[in-house]
Amino acid sequence: MTIHAETARGVRVLVTGATGYIGGRLVPRLLEEGYEVCCLVRSPRKLSGRPWADNPRLTVTEGDASDEDAVASAMQGCAAAYYLIHSMLAAGAAYREQDRHLAEVFALAAERADVGRIIYLGGLGETGKKLSKHLASRREVEEVLAAGPVPVTVLRAAMIIGSGSASFEIMRYLVERLPVMVTPRWVTTACQPIAVRDVLHYLVACLDVPETIGRTLDIGGPTVLNYRDFMATLADVRGLPARIVIPVPILSPKLSSLWIHLVTPISARIARPLAAGLRNPVVCRDDEAQRLMPSTRLTAREAIEAAYSHIDDHTVETAWSDAGPVPGDPDWSGGDAFTDRWAVHVRGDAKRVFEAVCRIGGGHGYYAADWLWRLRGRLDRLVGGPGLRRGRRDPTRVRYGEALDFWRVTEISTPKHIALRAEMKVPGDALLEFELRPTERDDVVELVQTARFIPKGLFGLLYWYAVLPLHGFVFRGMLEGIRDEAERGSDLTDEPGEVYRLREPS
């Protein structure tokens, strides 16, 4: 179904969760259809690197979803407001209470702003006491939003298949890494997965279908199968030998989440509620959504092929790790922060050098001592950290706020400066910065790398002094690799610049 441009023109809608997986893909599609879009985000800078950020019909408003005044202000003049907020990443175990509170605030703000309707993307699943806590929370949000006078359109989806989706990442890493899997009994649970493309179709199309107002609609792909069959299809698409799956009754959601944490990029904190929900059948009750908003939906196999196509082509639009707040920068002033600073002169323009810097991490590695980085990543996974498996969304381009292995991009000013803050398990706050400075020569820039660390307690102090001897090996090698990458292919006759310490660690 195609939205009529004359219908969309001049219609204003609010999108929350625009920095997340679904919201980050929904906004450009709404803009393409001609809608005026307002995004309410905590950090507007997280949208600055998106290709649609300068669209004249886009308004980005800074505010917190827990602030009723800010939400109501952003909603002014909106015909519809998308509620795509989920607190699982930010609130941890307390996500259910946080989600209920945010839904209450949103409903009250929508009433104040006289919004035409709320559109909410929830989860499929049977009703009743057997529903997992995660899916029960999704239903609770539905109820809270619908308790007010503003009508709600609820779209309930099962597993979303798409490059960067948390559920899809769990499945693909399990299949790719484990030829033999001992699994809980949930592998025999029926599910009706849906391609992310089709989810976006329904989210946009419902705006042009008045019959969807005040309705709860189940959305799914045309394929119903169990998770075991899904994994078999995934392995076949990837060209892998058939996986041996052994279901056992003794694996609890907690044990399953710990195993998922060790094998996939998803943390145990996120994996546990997702794993618990896999025991619930998630199949559409009817085809009402397809009748009201007809489209040619992708089968499970076609959706998997499309997801892998984007992964292989490095065209992943958004990823599950994009969501969540960017931590505020710690106070680096005073004598509490340890600093180690290295530099090298690189021949070439700043843009080329900065591009080489921005390639670190993911499949590219860190230019030197990659075995040490992999070891650090494995140790981090063992103690509950993200490790290196989050990788990066794109092999060359970096955006503010996105994850890069176990780092988070907290500052970026192209082509001058980038700051990464560690999200690994570490007894303190760690920051890694790269800064480009001009030199007396127009064809040479100075690349300065700074490692900063604020220790927490005695273990923090011991950690800093334990890793400090490795800096000379790791950081020197990294800067040499960046220098060589930036200078590759250039017609240069001078000797390459030497890496040097700007000053002794302090």
Say which CATH number the domain at 78 has: 3.40.50.720
Number of domains in the chain: 2
Whether a cis peptide bond, with omega within 30° of 0, leads into 395 is no
Structure-block tokens of residue 88:
């699982």
- Across the 506 residues of the chain, what is the mean pLDDT of every consecutive 10-residue run? 56 95 96 96 89 95 94 96 79 74 96 96 74 80 94 95 89 88 81 96 97 96 93 94 83 70 74 71 93 96 95 88 61 64 93 95 92 92 87 90 92 93 92 94 92 88 90 92 90 80 79
Looking at the structure, tell me whether residues 15 and 119 fall in a common domain: yes
State which of 266, 287, 322 marks the end of a domain: 322
For residues 453 and 337, the answer to whether their CB atoms sit within 8 Å is yes
**Cα Rg of the chain (Å, integer):** 24
Model pTM score = 0.80
For residues 278 and 189, the answer to whether their CB atoms sit within 8 Å is yes
The candidate with the shortest Cα–Cα distance to 198, out of 226, 228, 219, is: 219
Residue 28 included in any domain: yes
Looking at the structure, tell me whether residues 301 and 415 fall in a common domain: no
Structure-block tokens of residue 125:
């699943």
Residue 332 included in any domain: no
φ, ψ of residue 123 in degrees (nearest 5): -120, 140
**pLDDT given for residue 127 in this prediction:** 58
**pLDDT given for residue 326 in this prediction:** 62
- Residue 379: which residues within 8 A CB-CB, separation 6 or more? none
Residue 331 included in any domain: no
Distance, CA of 151 to CA of 213 (rounded, Å): 6
Residue 103 included in any domain: yes
**pLDDT given for residue 466 in this prediction:** 92
Q: Give whole-number Cα distances, 280 to 95, 192, 301, 501, in Å.
A: 20, 12, 22, 57
Residue 329 included in any domain: no
Looking at the structure, tell me whether residues 383 and 460 fall in a common domain: yes
Domain carrying residue 488: 338-503
Looking at the structure, tell me whether residues 97 and 23 fall in a common domain: yes
Structure-block tokens of residue 419:
């700051």
Looking at the structure, tell me whether residues 315 and 343 fall in a common domain: no
User: In sequence order, which ranges of 397-489 are alpha helices (DSSP H)?
Assistant: 457-487
**pLDDT given for residue 91 in this prediction:** 44
Say which CATH number the domain at 394 has: 3.30.530.20
Looking at the structure, tell me whether residues 248 and 305 fall in a common domain: yes
Q: Give whole-number Cα distances, 112 to 119, 148, 150, 193, 331, in Å.
A: 17, 11, 10, 36, 39
- Residue 21: which residues within 8 A CB-CB, separation 6 or more? 162, 164, 165, 166, 318, 319, 320, 322, 323
- Order across the sheet with 12-16: list the strands: 58-62, 36-41, 12-16, 80-83, 117-123, 152-157, 216-219
* CB neighbours of residue 316 within 10 Å: 18
- Residue 181: which residues within 8 A CB-CB, separation 6 or more? 174, 231, 243, 244, 245, 246
Q: For 350-363, give the DSSP string.
A: HHHHHHHHTT-BGG
Residue 410 included in any domain: yes
Structure-block tokens of residue 330:
């710690």
Looking at the structure, tell me whether residues 219 and 262 fall in a common domain: yes
**pLDDT given for residue 247 in this prediction:** 81
Looking at the structure, tell me whether residues 317 and 436 fall in a common domain: no
Looking at the structure, tell me whether residues 374 and 271 fall in a common domain: no
SS3 of residue 415 by DSSP: coil
State which of 322, 352, 367 marks the end of a domain: 322
Residue 201 included in any domain: yes
List of long-range contacts for 53-57, beta carbons under 8 Å, 24+ apart = 55/31, 57/31
Looking at the structure, tell me whether residues 170 and 85 fall in a common domain: yes
For residues 125 and 280, the answer to whether their CB atoms sit within 8 Å is yes
Distance, CA of 118 to CA of 95 (rounded, Å): 21
List of long-range contacts for 56-62, beta carbons under 8 Å, 24+ apart = 57/31, 58/27, 58/31
Looking at the structure, tell me whether residues 135 and 169 fall in a common domain: yes
Residue 287 included in any domain: yes
Looking at the structure, tell me whether residues 235 and 211 fall in a common domain: yes
State which of 295, 322, 349 marks the end of a domain: 322
